[in-house]
Amino acid sequence: MMIRPNRVMVLLGVTALVLAACGTPAKPAYEATNTPSANASSSVIDSNGVAVQPTATEVPPTATEVPPTATPTEEPTEEATVEPTEEATAEPTAEAADSSADSQTTGPIDEAREADLEFFVNLASASAGETLFNETLSLSDGQVWACANCHNVQEDVTGVGPSLVGINERAGTRVEGEGPLTYIYNSIHDSQAFVVPEFADQAQQMPIFGETGDLTDQQIYNLMAYLRTLPPAD
């Protein structure tokens, strides 16, 4: 029996469709899982299927109460009290007392007077003064005196009067305002003008040579020139 051409074509088409269906693997049906998508936490699907970004809600931090730190209180340390030591007070010696007295009597001296005496003593004779110092003199009041009888010129030893050894060093410290030459001149001219404290009891024994006229100024200058030659005290 003759098959019509249009039937043949239909048959071939059906066969081709069957073959095509057999060679393509069937697509698995979508199964929903419970695994949340990567964006599940960051977006929400609204009723229209549109993803909406959720609004972040700020959660205020909970204040943690920190107890105050106690500041350590330093215990006051007991300072050692140093007991004052009793310093020994040195008793002033006789020499220190004399030195103190001497320093208290020093002061500005009459430089013009010192210069005048320096001039006359430089012109005077020390040898004539030495002779006069050892000579026994008959005074106007009837008394007889010699300087050497009361004053030692060899050693610093006290006699009736003070030793004259070291007189050139001491003379400028005896009376305030008097230089050494002024003091020596006044001591001879008027012995009562200043009396060394240690010899107050013997003061009346030394004659007043200048005021009475028993010695001239030139004789006093000679004595002063001689006294300049005496050694210093040890």
CATH code of the domain covering residue 216:
1.10.760.10
Question: E-strand spans in 62-180?
Answer: 137-138, 144-145
* Separation of first and last alpha carbons in the chain: 184
Q: Residue 195's Cα: distance from chain center in Å? A: 46
Domain assignment present for residue 183? The answer is yes
- In angstroms, the CA 147 to CA 214 distance is 13
Question: 180 and 168 in contact (C-beta within 8 Å)?
Answer: yes
Domain assignment present for residue 223? The answer is yes
- In angstroms, the CA 181 to CA 167 distance is 10
Strand-pairing partners, residue 44, are 52
The pair of structure tokens assigned to 150 is 């009361």
pLDDT of residue 216: 93
Instruction: Indicate the number of domains in the chain.
Output: 1
pLDDT of residue 35: 46
Helix (H) or strand (E) holding 101: helix 94-105
Question: 206 and 150 in contact (C-beta within 8 Å)?
Answer: yes
Domain assignment present for residue 88? The answer is no
Domain assignment present for residue 48? The answer is no
Domain assignment present for residue 46? The answer is no
Domain assignment present for residue 127? The answer is yes
Helix (H) or strand (E) holding 187: helix 180-189
> What single-letter amino acid sits at 79?
E
Question: 159 and 150 in contact (C-beta within 8 Å)?
Answer: yes
pLDDT of residue 102: 45
Domain assignment present for residue 4? The answer is no
Q: Which residues contact 226 (CB under 8 A, 6 or more apart)?
A: 126, 127, 128, 129, 130, 132, 133
Q: Residue 100's Cα: distance from chain center in Å? A: 30
pLDDT of residue 15: 61
Please give the model's pTM, rounded to 2 decimal places: 0.53
Strand-pairing partners, residue 145, are 137
Query: Which CA distances in Å does 74 have to 70, 77, 79, 153?
Result: 12, 8, 14, 78
pLDDT of residue 208: 79
Domain assignment present for residue 161? The answer is yes
Those residues of the chain that have pLDDT short of 70 are 1-107, 202-204
The pair of structure tokens assigned to 215 is 């010695």
> What single-letter amino acid sits at 136?
T
pLDDT of residue 89: 45
Domain limits at 110? 96-227
- In angstroms, the CA 174 to CA 167 distance is 10
